[in-house]
Amino acid sequence: MPNSQDQGRAALYAGLGAYGLWGFLPLYFHLLGTLGVGTGEIIAHRTLWSVFWALGLVWLSRQGGEVRRVLTEPRTMGLLALSTLAVLLNWVIYVLAVNAGKVIEASLGYYINPLLNMAVGALFFRDRMPLTGKIAIGLAVIGVAVQTLALGHLPIISLTLAISFCLYGVIRKQVRADAQTGLFIECLYLTLPGLIYVLVLQSTGAGHALEGPGVLLLLMAAGPATVVPLALFAWSARRLSLTAMGFLQFIAPTIQFCIGLALGEAFTPLRALSFAFIWAGVAVFAWGAWRASHQISAVA
């Protein structure tokens, strides 16, 4: 039996792996985009191949019985239908952003997301918001305002990504099902539309799946690219403290931000100022989480 220190280290590596894979995901979508694969086709293949990996995850975690239970509960299936729409919106906007050369703007959305989660928790779930949380959210609001000035319009991509993923989390909090089961049902909802879209593209000559084994393998890789990081996240989240997960969740947008810079996206001084406010909010958020965890440890 592994000791708790070994398990903690393994959970940390799993969390790093999850957020690292999410962080480098823009490179995968960018590669498909350079091959001429459009957003709709990428999403269709993502939904089509993810269901097989999600089913494998259900089988490994021995949750077949839970899947059968969920399939017989109309309310749970209805909530999962709503969460499916939320995550689908998130996927579509994210891939559109990457293919449009707006990875930096997309990364902003995932910096904002945990701060938005905290605000929603305080407003709708009566979670207590500490002073550091209020300061962090205030800095984020200023950052979004400055980003609006820099872009000349509201950062729609950033806000849509943050809001859709926050909505997804809120809905999933109401679902009586484990992460693996919920993901499988969500993929199941999307499989048939994804398959139909792929078949239509191929029948009209607009699809790329049959251009060669390399392209097909890349499209099929959308399955593990979606499911594997989620599996790593679910495993680590059960074993790491909320504080540790709070720090780790900023790895992905930081990697995405660096990728956007490496791809040559515009980063004006005004945009830099907006990110300075966002990063300050993130730092306050992380410091508040760290201080809260130490206060709990001291009481214990």
pLDDT at 130: 84
Look at 185-189, 230-234, 241-245, 276-280 and tell me which has the smallest mean pLDDT: 241-245
**Is it the case that residue 207 has pLDDT exceeding 60?**
yes
Tell me, what's the pLDDT at 124?
84
Closest CA relative to residue 283, chosen from 162, 123, 144, 139: 139
- The residue ranking higher by pLDDT, 196 or 232, is 196
Residue 126, sorted as left (phi over 0), alpha (psi -120 to 50) or beta, turns out to be: left
AA identity, residue 144: V
pLDDT for position 4: 67
CB of 73 closer than 8 Å to CB of 67 = no
Task: Reply yes or no on whether the pLDDT at 3 is more than 90.
Answer: no
pLDDT bucket at 288, cuts 50 / 70 / 90: confident
Query: How do residues 184-203 score in pLDDT, each as one tens digit?
Result: 999 999 999 999 999 999 99
Provide the 8-state DSSP code for 66.
H
Amino acid at 211: E
> Residue 160: which of 99, 199, 116 has the closest Cα?
116
Report which secondary-structure segment, H or E, holds 30: helix 4-34
Q: Tell me the per-residue pLDDT of 121-176, one tens digit each, with 9 for 90 and over.
A: 888 887 788 888 899 999 999 999 999 999 999 999 999 999 999 999 899 889 98
Q: Strand locations in the chain, DSSP E?
A: none
Comparing 298 with 180, the larger pLDDT belongs to 180
* 65-123 tens-digit pLDDT: 999 999 999 999 999 999 999 999 999 999 999 999 999 999 999 999 988 988 888 88
Q: Which H or E element spans position 97?
A: helix 74-99
Q: pLDDT band for position 299 (50/70/90)?
A: very low
